[in-house]
Structure 1
């Protein structure tokens, strides 16, 4: 009968293609992980991993075995964690990847209440604009938008991700305000070059009566993240296309104004991303449920909707700060 440690060592080593990285995730030494895998191979009578000086790879038998036990091992680990920590008291490190704009503004303020309810959970939060590999990098979940769903990853939408045109009041005083997305070509533009694609994002705006038009924004200033674009717009450097939740506090303070208020681009949703499994670890499950409930209580789905009355959204943003 194989021990859970042997199976965990094999699965982590296969996923991460490294005994050293698997050891770090499991809290073991590389030698112990290698020994566990070797014991598993000896008991099964088949080689599961090919070792080299640079990395390890699955054999054909290893691929079949990993496919067979992966979901079952997740279920067993979750059941053990639920039982050992107690269903009413989730515990452990909660590693989360968050958008550097939505995360600090809307998720971080929820943390005090979450920790009051679940004091044995230890947050490890990373604020980043890249799409992380939840499994390989050991994340429990990610919060943001625009993730490409890979096999085994699910997404739960919590609010829309609508893009709007904004600029500073100082900049708009000296220019003719646009009445149509085509008019943006007459203004300075602050745009973003995607780190993954290397391309500047183009937006198709939706307007009244179902009209659609490309935002004719100029590429006068190029940034590599939304926060920098927002800062540039605040300084009066031009017009930026940004997610509505990222600029609601600025609209509330009057540091930015929304242009083309009847137009927006749909960038999908702000979602919770996590590995699909029958039994989620208690720490992950309660955090997901907590965030969904808080977003519902705070009406964030309505607040972040660019088709709603922006003035009402701004009032909500002010009250919730």
Structure 2
């Protein structure tokens, strides 16, 4: 009887056409994945892959075997997850994708209490500014905004993703503050360039009355990372448009000031995403509950809102 590890190593390697990609998904080393697949081939008495220095290609026998075992593997994994859920013993590797700035500031501080409560869970978190394919890349969950909600995915809203204009007091010294978003054209702009498209993100800002205007921020400085944009604003290099959670601590300290306090851009919701399986693994279910409770307890949705007065009410907390 083949072990689940050998079968999963084969299936994930076949899906990614790479031992290295399968290793990242399963939290193992490429060498371990290669050994598991070699053991499976030896036990079956057939070659499942044609190996080259660049990629893996399934043999005819490998294609047939993949079709035969893939669906059954998912069923076995759900059965195992179901047993863990029934016993209420979260365990295993929790793979999470989240942005560096938001993740380190608001999610990472939740980890000590979570691991103390669930000592059999191990954390494998990737801090990166991109939308991952949870199922294809083997993540248990992701936290971010603007994910395409594909079939089989669940999104639990955490807080609004409101974008505001900020600058340092030093930069604004001697400058008249803008009256509306169109007047941002008079300032040096620190803008976001998409890593995949290379295009600069354009924002439409709105006020409480429902009026909308394009934020006419010049492309004086272009970065591909929100943390760099914030750092540049702190250095007094110009005005930038960033999400409230990323600059909340700087607004509290006075290192940055909010311009256009009645205006903001709505980027949707910051959500927690996970696969909608028949039986959600206990580790994932426990983590989702832990995060949702923390956001309610700390009233983060209210603090992250750019609606005038809402985020100010959270400054004393």
TM-score (norm 2): 0.85
Deviation at 1:31, TM superposition (A): 4.2
Following the alignment from structure 1 to structure 2, what is the Cα–Cα distance between the partners of residues 159 and 212? 22
- Report the equivalent of 2:36: 32
Deviation at 1:72, TM superposition (A): 5.2
Q: Is the Cα–Cα contact under 8 Å of residues 50 and 59 in structure 2 kept in the other structure?
A: no
Deviation at 1:61, TM superposition (A): 9.7
Alignment of 1:1-321 (within 5 A): 4=4, 7-19=7-19, 21-22=21-22, 25=26, 28-36=32-40, 51-53=50-52, 54-57=54-57, 70=70, 73-83=73-83, 87-310=87-310, 313-319=311-317
Deviation at 1:17, TM superposition (A): 1.3
Cα distance, 1:6–1:91 mapped onto 2, change above 3 Å: closer
Following the alignment from structure 1 to structure 2, what is the Cα–Cα distance between the partners of residues 61 and 203? 52
Deviation at 1:66, TM superposition (A): 6.0
Q: Is the Cα–Cα contact under 8 Å of residues 20 and 30 in structure 1 kept in the other structure?
A: no
Cα distance, 1:164–1:20 mapped onto 2, change above 3 Å: closer
SS class of match (2:134): coil
Deviates more, 1:147-156 or 1:296-305: 147-156
Give aligned pairs, total.
Answer: 312
Deviates more, 1:256-265 or 1:136-145: 136-145
Deviation at 1:157, TM superposition (A): 2.0
SS class of match (2:202): coil
Deviation at 1:169, TM superposition (A): 1.6
Q: Is the Cα–Cα contact under 8 Å of residues 162 and 265 in structure 2 kept in the other structure?
A: yes
Following the alignment from structure 1 to structure 2, what is the Cα–Cα distance between the partners of residues 274 and 40? 35
Deviates more, 1:130-139 or 1:21-30: 21-30
Structure 2: stretches of 5+ with no match in the other structure: none
Deviation at 1:87, TM superposition (A): 2.7
Following the alignment from structure 2 to structure 1, what is the Cα–Cα distance between the partners of residues 60 and 204? 46
Deviation at 1:38, TM superposition (A): 7.7
Following the alignment from structure 2 to structure 1, what is the Cα–Cα distance between the partners of residues 41 and 312? 56
Structure 1: stretches of 5+ with no match in the other structure: none
Following the alignment from structure 2 to structure 1, what is the Cα–Cα distance between the partners of residues 45 and 272? 37
Cα distance, 1:173–1:122 mapped onto 2, change above 3 Å: same
Deviation at 1:78, TM superposition (A): 3.3
Deviation at 1:67, TM superposition (A): 7.3
Following the alignment from structure 2 to structure 1, what is the Cα–Cα distance between the partners of residues 296 and 130? 26
Following the alignment from structure 2 to structure 1, what is the Cα–Cα distance between the partners of residues 75 and 90? 16
Cα distance, 1:140–1:257 mapped onto 2, change above 3 Å: same
Q: Is the Cα–Cα contact under 8 Å of residues 162 and 268 in structure 1 kept in the other structure?
A: yes
Following the alignment from structure 2 to structure 1, what is the Cα–Cα distance between the partners of residues 103 and 76? 32
Deviation at 1:81, TM superposition (A): 4.3
Deviates more, 1:275-284 or 1:76-85: 76-85
| RMSD of equivalent CA atoms | 3.0
